[in-house]
A = this chain, B = another copy of it.
């Protein structure tokens, strides 16, 4: 099971281990991580034909197929891990997400529709409802006899959920809430399970009782009668064809003053008594809102994980094809180059491979934090906030990375990458929406930035004015030093032009940590300084200043996310004892880190963190690392542990290799035969030589 492959690297100038033996079996285990067994169970299901996407179906056919698959998942006991044991679940929130992530390899529509039913609709009842709701609603949700919609997003409000327009007004005379859509923009939109399948829904609305709006709360609500017709007062539209995920029946819902029992309020964090009195265990409406919304973080976590899985499929396809496909014969008159040998191809695929491995570890850390909070092992406020920040940081990076990797892999396979059977294009189309739903990536990064800024502010909360001004002064001084590039002047002189010493510097764990951490700190400090200068100005002016630095703020949040990913990778390295495997993973970590630094090299130069001398050695060093990893690329993608039934790409099937061999054999036989045609170029050269010969004789 555990295979060891040995590769000799030609470049040992930096005194690396010269021939790392990669234990692919071990690497597979390391990448599978804590929930390896659960992942294997879920992958076994995802390998079955019955769960696979069929390309070219109409949306009606695709929707029907996916609904059927959801029922099969129930029968296979594959989707209840997060639910309480008393209802037949396993109380295993982390394992549940690990299992869901793997479903993306079968069909992203299947993953997302399952996510709507059990991850959103079911989770809302579980986490926002109380015992009575659990007893009454969970069984039907879990066995899919009650498909349901998660009615949060409205046409007018997606990212700013606190401002949704739907109202739930309590009527004490009837002991009922009146659910209402007061204007078009308050229509619920993009809801999976709404257009066709949903019988019930959880609906987010402004809770109004006794003339007071207590903010957004979640309500249970029936949508359709037993014949599948919308109930009186409910209007439903189909969102129609989408850019992808057409196996899901997204739709719009509007409520015309429909009535639901008072007890349909999912009342874990806020309740209304029969007389209309509102009570909540959380006094601050803001904190209450974020607590309620925070229970839904698992959507982000699972999108991030599914994106990592899809990136792996893309790289298995492109690396396998890149190792078999040949084109142009620059270095030999007979044999064509294997395209993976081109530096550009290495540049296109190997950094993405490194980032995918990095994100695997980051996702593992995110899942562990999620398990901690949702299992109750540590569900302190602080830990919940950390989980939310971590998810808000990793999800944007992972989902954008998947789109980028699927696209680069598709282009790296040329026209073949565009054929649906090779799945790059269609996976990309399905995953496209991952970057804006369950939290728009840019909005999430802004949340991360705000957290960084408030942490920064908290450091100085109790400081007296003197301390603060001293800090600002020391910051200013450091800025001056950076501005003049003097800070590391001595270092610059020391390492002028010595590439080996420079590479040794770049690959040090502490150096990498300092470079990534310094960047986040400095960027946050810079922005905080700008914001502090208007702290006592009117809100509009503060907002304007924030806006003037929004681009930098997003960059700071991205830098923070990259640091968190680096930390996960570096922690994971510590756990790998096998020297060869650890070496290969270290190279991958270094490629991940150094390409991030290369990407932001101007910042490091301008802020005096890297000298020009060292900066100049960075790209060549990365290129050498890529060449070193190049012979290991196939082993690494093989260690992702997906089988042909998960990959399902012609480019990864070995067919290209067989075609290459057939063609080479044809030419070998032809060259050996007497009637092989001569190349005109050779004849022409001969004729020219004869002419020159004649001239010389004359």
On A, residues with C-beta under 8 Å from B are: 55-56, 58-59, 153, 155-160, 163, 165, 169, 182-186, 189-190, 206, 208, 211-215, 239-244, 278, 283-286, 327-333, 336, 341-344, 347, 403, 407, 410-411, 414-415, 417-421, 424-426, 428-429, 432-433, 435-437, 440-442, 483-485, 497, 539-540, 543-544, 546-551, 554, 601-602, 605-606, 612-613, 615-616, 619, 623, 658-660, 662-663, 666, 675, 677-681, 683-684
User: Contacts A242-B425, A605-B605 hold; do A662 and B184 have CB atoms under 8 A apart?
Assistant: yes
**A156 contacts B497, CB within 8 Å?**
no
Provide a sorted-by-A list of 30 A–B residue pairs whose CB atoms are within 8 angstroms.
Answer: A55-B241, A56-B58, A160-B327, A160-B336, A163-B336, A165-B666, A185-B659, A186-B663, A190-B415, A208-B677, A211-B677, A212-B680, A214-B680, A240-B420, A241-B421, A243-B429, A283-B684, A286-B681, A330-B546, A331-B543, A342-B547, A343-B547, A343-B548, A407-B432, A411-B435, A425-B432, A483-B613, A551-B619, A551-B623, A606-B615
B residues in contact with A681, CB < 8 Å: 215, 285-286
On whether the beta carbons of A483 and B660 are closer than 8 Å, the reply is no
A508, chain B: closest CB distance, angstroms: 21
| Supplied contacts A55-B241, A239-B419, 14 more A-B pairs, CB within 8 Å | A155-B659, A156-B660, A156-B663, A169-B677, A211-B675, A240-B419, A240-B420, A243-B419, A411-B441, A425-B429, A483-B497, A484-B612, A485-B612, A602-B602
Residues on B with C-beta less than 8 A from A417 are 243, 436
Residues of B within 8 A of A240 (CB): 55-56, 419-421
Contacts of A419 in B (CB 8 A): 239-243
Query: Are the C-beta atoms of B623 and A548 separated by less than 8 Å?
Result: yes
A414 close to B155 (CB less than 8 A): no
* Copies of this subunit: 2
Is B666's CB under 8 angstroms from A544's CB? no
Contacts of A331 in B (CB 8 A): 539-540, 543-544, 547
Residue of B nearest to A538 (CB): B331
Note all chain B residues with C-beta closer than 8 A to A190. 415
Nearest residue in B to A544 (C-beta to C-beta)?
B331
Q: How far is the CA of A539 from the CA of B334 in the complex (A)?
A: 13
Contacts of A59 in B (CB 8 A): 56
Bound form: Cα–Cα A392–B548 in Å:
39
A278 — nearest CB in chain B belongs to which residue? B680
Q: How far is the CA of A331 from the CA of B612 in the complex (A)?
A: 42
> Would you give the shortest CB distance from A663 to chain B, in whole angstroms?
5
